[in-house]
Amino acid sequence: MLVSFFSLAQNRLIVNTDQGDIKINKHIYGHFAEHLGRSIYGGIWVGPDSDIPNEDGYRKDVMEALINLEIPNLRWPGGCFADEYHWTDGIGDPAERPKMVNTHWGGVTEDNSFGTHEFMNFAKKIGTEPYITGNVGSGSVEEMSKWIEYINFDGVSPMADLRKRNGQDEPWGIRYWGVGNESWGCGGNMTPEYYANEYRRYATYARNYGGNRLYKIAGGANNWDYNWTEVLMKNIPLNMMDGLSLHYYTIAGSWENKKSATDFDKETYLETLRKAAFIDELIKRHGTIMDKYDPEKRIGMIIDEWGTWFEVEPGTNPGFLYQQNTMRDAHVAAISLNIFNKNADRVHMANIAQTVNVLQAIILTNETDLILTPTYHVFDLYKPHKDATLLSHDLKSEEVSFGKEKMEALNVSTSRSEDGTVNISIANINPDKKIDLDVVLRGIDAKNITAEYITAPAINSHNTFENKEVVKKAAFKDFKLNKENLKVSVPANSIIMLRAK
Ligand code: AHR
């Protein structure tokens, strides 16, 4: 009997490089900035009079980092905050803007100095598409409808005129609108039947202006609340929505004790990664319900909040959700993004929570400086997957186990860029063992391989203001190409992006 060399290999990956017809929507690599803790204030916005280097009030260092990442969209103003936010408080002369209490997040005073114009200008400066969530919980249909008119109407109308008086002649033409947030919880504690009706009212008056067709996103389920998805899909006419959201956070331990972001053992590490990978099952199960009503998969599953949620850093405000970010977070990001890619026929957008200083942040700041977290570097490595064609593959991977936890050590995603380059992201979650991986590139005569990676000595390695480059992106060279066969030595605790042409 003939046994091929590759079927003997313990770890092997076969990539069908010349197949595939599903595009990985670049919006899967989206972000989220809420009025929460030091996300907006101090993280993005310091005001034009600040000593912190800024451009028109926006932190220069943060802008630069986000421009480099080419983030496709940014969700704002929340989160739970969105359902308490009244947009008219955040326009006009900043000195005249009313203040409010941010009851969800630390009970601090929100002075509304960062409002619609500040957000829209920021999105323009960093070259990203805005995604706004309207207030359904404590707002009104009229309020949201007028916000859309203010932002998008190009003719003469009370709201368009008000926008012009506030210094913006041209409409911004925003496409992505969320109709409420977590309406089953902080967004109004509604039943799915009640929210479905509310959605229909709000969506009716969310008008298209000036040839701009809105992409309306209904507030979807939390975790495994499949009934929520079923009721919404059944009760909302399909032509009234474009997306249905899903929120899923990865915790270690329980909600009551979410454990430290930096101090954890190997079993907890693997528990966290297993829980992150659970989103695959959620996508499948919610997706099956969506398929029943929308077999064409026109409606996007919009995972507009995902990421890790640990205990806050000691000594920080518990309402500010400020946590450190380690190689464990990097692996959570790699696994999650690989899963979103794999389900790209249904997952049309995703937004990591959150961009700066909150939860699984890609950037942490203090008064004078900034850290790019390991999660930032994963998004940086994964750039080639954006808008690339998803490729099917077959992976055989050894396992890694600690205590009662066990997972496959390798986690992979494969895609083909428009110019034919094949992209392979590989995470080795085993913190202790380098893995030799045999890769078969079927259908391409690759001549040239380039690769970058991140790695670190420990699963809790992270960057600090004192040492900002413990985890950083570097060139990766430990591979050998022989015709269609590629041998890769995947370092322990690493994430690689290989590109074959
Ligand atoms: O991202 C933090 C919070 O988590 C959001 O405000 C809310 O939507 C979710 O519960």
For the stretch 441-473, pLDDT in tens is 999 999 999 999 999 999 999 999 999 999 999
Give the number of the atom of ligand 1 that is nearest the alpha carbon of residue 32. Answer: 1
Taking the C-alpha atoms of residue 436 and residue 343, their distance in angstroms, rounded to an integer, is 27
pLDDT for 15: 97
Please determine, for residue 4, whether its predicted confidence score (pLDDT) is greater than 70.
Answer: no
Give the number of the atom of ligand 1 that is nearest the alpha carbon of residue 359. Answer: 1
For the stretch 340-372, pLDDT in tens is 999 999 999 999 999 999 999 999 999 999 999
- Pocket lining: 37 vs ligand 1, CB cutoff 6 Å: no
- Pocket lining: 323 vs ligand 1, CB cutoff 6 Å: no
Q: pTM for the full model?
A: 0.97
Please determine, for residue 436, whether its predicted confidence score (pLDDT) is greater than 70.
Answer: yes
Q: Whose CA is nearest to atom 8 of ligand 1?
A: 79
Ligand 1 mean position, distance from CA 82 (Å)? 10
Ligand 1 mean position, distance from CA 7 (Å)? 46
> What distances in angstroms separate CA 232 from CA 178, 219, 227, 295, 345, one per listed residue?
15, 9, 9, 15, 20
The single residue listed with the structure tokens 């480059």 is 469
The pLDDT > 70 percentage for the chain reads: 98
CB 172 within 8 A of CB 151: yes
Q: Average pLDDT of the chain? A: 97
For the stretch 163-220, pLDDT in tens is 999 999 999 999 999 999 999 999 999 999 999 999 999 999 999 998 899 999 999 9
Angle at 343 between CA 341 and CA 345, to 5 degrees: 105
Taking the C-alpha atoms of residue 346 and residue 341, their distance in angstroms, rounded to an integer, is 10
- Known catalytic residues are 182, 305
- Pocket lining: 182 vs ligand 1, CB cutoff 6 Å: yes
Give the mean pLDDT of 334-342: 98
For the stretch 385-411, pLDDT in tens is 999 999 999 999 999 999 999 999 999
